[in-house]
Amino acid sequence: MILTIDGPAGAGKSTVARALAKRLGFQYLDTGAMYRAVALAGWRRGVDWRRPDELVQVASGLHLELIDDRVLLDGEDVSRAIRTPEATAITRYAADDPAIRARLVALQRVMAQRRNVVTEGRDQGTVAFPEAECKFFLTASPEERARRRLGDLRRQGETATVEEVLESQRQRDDRDAARPVGPLAKAPDAIEVSTDGMTIDEVVDRLVELARRRVELPPKTEP
């Protein structure tokens, strides 16, 4: 069974998707981490960002694994390296490229095969898994999203102001929505949930309740 969670950056998707997967005994698929890892690999190999074919070349030779909460790039744990502000800024080179998107969507489908999965990203309910049994679209106000992002950055030891975070968030939103292939979009059959003012547990409770109304959730088994 596949549950998808799409929505803009900072709506709480990752935390909620991880907690929901745990609650249901599903695998969690963090697809943003895949775009981040491809961009990181390109940066490390010194690709010329003006030459998309170079990044496609790098992507085609990569071995990407998502194991629990860890992201492995050719066997190396890059879970932290892909989340620095620098890595976040270059991720668009991977996310904007149609060839890389096609490759990663194919990989996401393989990873979800014969599994119960909570998958999270921008195009999961629309492009990667249009047939998913239950789809959510998480939102939150720009201010709340920026506050959460700032909290995440501070925990990572980074400094930024609310204004800076709001501005880069606005640019990312515009970019995510304008992408010709796999843009941020709500699937027609997705349930929209605003997470403003809700705790993670409250959001997860709500999603479980909504999912139960739509599908018969499989009994929880040990992964």
Per CB under 6 A, the list member of 123, 125, 126, 204 interacting with ligand DC is: 123
List of E strands, the chain: 2-6, 27-30, 64-67, 70-73, 76-77, 117-121, 134-139, 191-194
Give the nearer residue to ligand DC in terms of CB position, either 169 or 217.
Answer: 169
Which one of the spans 59-67, 119-127, 139-147, 202-210 is the region binding ligand DC (CB under 6 A)?
A: 119-127
Amino acid at 162: V
Q: Which of residues 127-186 bind ligand DC (CB under 6 A)?
A: 172, 176, 182
Binding mask 75-94 for ligand DC (x = CB under 6 A): ----------------x---
Which one of the spans 32-40, 46-54, 73-81, 133-141 is the region binding ligand DC (CB under 6 A)?
A: 32-40
* Residue 52 is a binding residue for ligand DC (CB under 6 A): no
C-alpha dist (Å) from residue 141 to 62, 148, 218: 36, 11, 33
Cα-only R_g, the chain: 17
* Residue 31 is a binding residue for ligand DC (CB under 6 A): yes
Sign of CA dihedral 149, 151, 152, 156: positive
Sign of CA dihedral 18, 7, 71, 146: negative
Q: How far is the CB of 124 from ligand DC (least distance, A)?
A: 6
Which one of the spans 29-37, 66-74, 145-153, 160-168 is the region binding ligand DC (CB under 6 A)?
A: 29-37
Sign of CA dihedral 15, 18, 24, 28: positive
* Residue 36 is a binding residue for ligand DC (CB under 6 A): yes
Contact 149, 10 (CB under 8 A): yes
Which one of the spans 28-36, 136-144, 145-153, 160-168 is the region binding ligand DC (CB under 6 A)?
A: 28-36
Q: How far apart are CA 95 and CA 14, in angstroms?
A: 17
Question: Which residues would be at the binding site for ligand DC (CB under 6 A)?
Answer: 9, 31-32, 35-36, 91, 95, 121-124, 172, 176, 182
